[in-house]
Amino acid sequence: MFYTYILYSQSLDIFYKGSTNNIEDRILRHNKGLESFTSKGIPWNLLWYTKKSSKSEAYRLEMKLKNLSRERLIRFIKKYKDDIIDIKMIITLSNRICKKPL
């Protein structure tokens, strides 16, 4: 099983999109500072993830998410809210970023 996920760093106010075959280990690596891009944004909160049947499918979704603007990413997360991990954070971000609150 493979996963595509979205993390959020409150300290940097940015999202990180990624894919992996071991989501628990990947989140731990991000939060231990073992990944160069995310090392400055600790702690990272897992906001959303979905399971994919293949590595290529997970990677394709990751690339699509990385091409979304911040506002469109928030809309994507709201659209697929059944997979949201931290709904309170999404509501807060949505109200702050988007013109239409949840």
Q: Report the number of distinct structural domains present in the chain.
A: 1
Q: For residues 43 and 76, give the distance between their C-alpha atoms in angstroms, rounded to a whole number.
A: 23
12 within domain boundaries: yes
63 within domain boundaries: yes
The CATH number of the domain where 11 resides is what?
A: 3.40.1440
Question: Of 22, 17, 27, 9, nearest to 60 (Cα)?
Answer: 17
Percent of the chain whose predicted confidence (pLDDT) is above 70: 79
What per-residue confidence (pLDDT) applies to 80? 81
102 within domain boundaries: no
74 within domain boundaries: yes
Chain-wide mean pLDDT for the chain?
Answer: 84
Q: For residues 85 and 47, give the distance between their C-alpha atoms in angstroms, rounded to a whole number.
A: 5
80 within domain boundaries: yes
13 within domain boundaries: yes
Which tens digit of pLDDT belongs to each residue from 47-85?
888 999 999 999 999 999 999 999 999 889 888 876 666
Count CB-CB contacts under 10 A for residue 82. 7
Q: For residues 31 and 85, give the distance between their C-alpha atoms in angstroms, rounded to a whole number.
A: 17
35 within domain boundaries: yes
Q: What pTM value is reported for the model?
A: 0.80
Q: Identify the domain containing residue 7 by its residue range.
A: 2-97
Task: Extract long-range pairs of 25-34: CB within 8 Å, 24+ residues apart.
Answer: none
76 within domain boundaries: yes
What per-residue confidence (pLDDT) applies to 83? 62
